[in-house]
């Protein structure tokens, strides 16, 4: 899967304001709603799915990356966002370090293929230290997309 099919300038968010895990999840979700990717009336359902998944096991990975994700029929196709908080926040990451790069995905319950393909591709890219470092130095959404 081409990551750029799922992430575009309207789903790239820089300079997150939130300072908590739940706050970051809600902020990215609200930005996706504002971008027209998720219907406002589905906010509670999508937020619940994200928080239930997060409570099962933190999606804070390592190397400053967190991948909050969920499956819900409140969306018809994969919805994805990339968000940055340069200062980082505690996201209960596996390595105990702050998370700076957030990849949120929401996908329909019965369509696992695109979800898994997207996560595999974005993980492959973010596994490269140079990509992670450059993402944190970007000034524009277009620079972020070029790195992907």
The full set of domain ranges for the chain reads: 3-147
Q: What's the pLDDT tens digit per position in 45-54?
A: 999 999 999 9
Confidence at residue 98, expressed as pLDDT on a 0 to 100 scale: 96
pLDDT of the residue at 42: 97
Q: Cα 136 to the chain's mean position, in Å? A: 15
Q: Is residue 101 helix, strand or coil?
A: strand
- CATH architecture entry for 3-147: 3-Layer(aba) Sandwich (3.40)
69 is catalytic: yes
Whether 60 and 92 have beta carbons less than 8 Å apart is answered as yes
Which residue matches tokens 């970007």?
A: 138
Q: Which of 63, 69, 100, 115 is catalytic?
A: 69
Greatest distance between any 2 Cα atoms in the chain: 39
| Whether the predicted pLDDT of 135 surpasses 70 | yes
Whether residue 3 is predicted with pLDDT greater than 80 in this model: the reply is no
Q: Identify the three-state secondary structure at position 100.
A: strand
Query: What pLDDT band is residue 1 in, cutting at 50, 70 and 90?
Result: low
């Amino acid at each position: 899967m081409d990551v750029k099919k799922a992430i575009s300038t309207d789903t790239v968010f820089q300079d997150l304001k939130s300072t908590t895990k739940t706050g970051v999840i809600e902020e990215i979700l609200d930005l996706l709603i504002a971008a027209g990717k998720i219907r406002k009336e589905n906010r509670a359902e999508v937020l619940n799915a994200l928080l239930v998944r997060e409570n099962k096991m933190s999606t804070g990975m390592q190397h400053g990356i967190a991948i909050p994700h969920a499956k819900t029929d409140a969306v018809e196709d994969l919805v994805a966002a990339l968000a940055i908080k340069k200062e980082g926040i505690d996201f209960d990451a596996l390595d105990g370090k702050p998370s700076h790069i957030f990849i949120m995905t929401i996908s329909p319950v019965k369509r696992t293929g695109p979800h898994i393909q997207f996560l595999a591709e974005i993980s492959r890219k973010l596994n490269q230290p140079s990509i992670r470092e450059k993402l944190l130095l970007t000034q524009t959404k277009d620079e972020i997309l070029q790195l992907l």
